[in-house]
């Protein structure tokens, strides 16, 4: 059965989110979200991925939740970057969540994503009265990817390779949460295909002469006997 995932890049347009150290939250989370969508679509079967925004536009919080509800999503993941002078990664579900599918899915995603944040603090799996996790009708979580106003955190987020790693881990966590099956590549590349056994050709040299006349005589005799003959001058 096909699973539907809605990934929500926080903020956008007139709302930049947190801004510090030369980067904007809205740009970082849009990049992570796009990479995560691509990872899911390219590497897992039976999943359709939507984003609440794919460009730098402003979307109201309630409209993000409505979008996911209208898509009848199986999971909603909202990406954000933290601020306030701290460090590390944390995740949130709605305040009334107590165990069940939402907590199980959040754990799968949280643990997978934190796996790339080596050297950073795991700030924990938390609960909060946040609109996008309150108004969504499916399991929903909000991820806070490091702190934009802490230099070490911000420097990490400035690397595109790091953003790809975050997105890959997020996709893997989502896949685990939804029990998605990894795609298998049945198309063997040309370079890995076993080569057909090549036909071998064996050449026999019957003589070498210092004069063209002698070479012509031997070639004529061989031709009479049915051998294909040619003369090579070296």
* Residues tagged active-site: 144
Give yes or no for a contact between 111 and 64, defined as CB atoms under 8 angstroms apart.
no
Taking residue 146's Cβ as centre, other Cβ atoms within 10 Å add up to 26
The two structure tokens encoding residue 217: 């005589």
- 184 by Cβ neighbours in 10 Å (0-12 / 13-18 / 19+) ranks as exposed
- Per-residue buried b or exposed e for 66-105, using 16+ beta carbons within 10 Å of the residue's own CB: ebbeebebbbbbbbbbbbeeebbbbbbbbeebeeeebbeb
């Amino acid at each position: 059965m096909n699973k539907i995932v809605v990934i929500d890049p926080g903020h956008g347009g007139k709302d930049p989110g947190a801004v510090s150290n030369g980067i904007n939250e809205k740009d970082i989370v849009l990049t992570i979200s796009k990479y995560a969508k691509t990872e899911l679509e390219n590497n897992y079967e039976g999943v359709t991925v939507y984003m609440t925004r794919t460009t730098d536009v402003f979307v109201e919080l309630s409209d993000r939740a409505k979008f996911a509800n209208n898509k009848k999503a199986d999971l909603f993941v909202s990406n954000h970057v933290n601020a306030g002078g701290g460090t590390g990664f944390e995740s949130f579900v709605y305040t009334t969540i107590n165990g069940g599918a939402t907590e199980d899915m959040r754990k799968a995603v949280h643990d997978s994503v934190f796996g790339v944040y080596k050297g950073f603090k795991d700030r924990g799996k938390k609960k909060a009265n946040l609109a996008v996790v309150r108004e969504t009708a499916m399991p929903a979580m909000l991820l806070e990817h490091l702190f934009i106003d802490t230099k070490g955190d911000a420097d990490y987020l400035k690397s595109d390779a790091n953003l790809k790693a975050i997105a890959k881990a997020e996709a893997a966590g989502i896949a685990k949460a939804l029990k998605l099956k990894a795609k298998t590549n049945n198309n063997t590349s040309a370079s890995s295909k076993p080569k057909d056994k090549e036909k071998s050709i064996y050449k026999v040299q019957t003589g070498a002469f210092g004069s063209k006349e002698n070479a012509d005589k031997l070639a004529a005799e061989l031709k009479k006997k049915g051998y294909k003959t040619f003369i090579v001058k070296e």
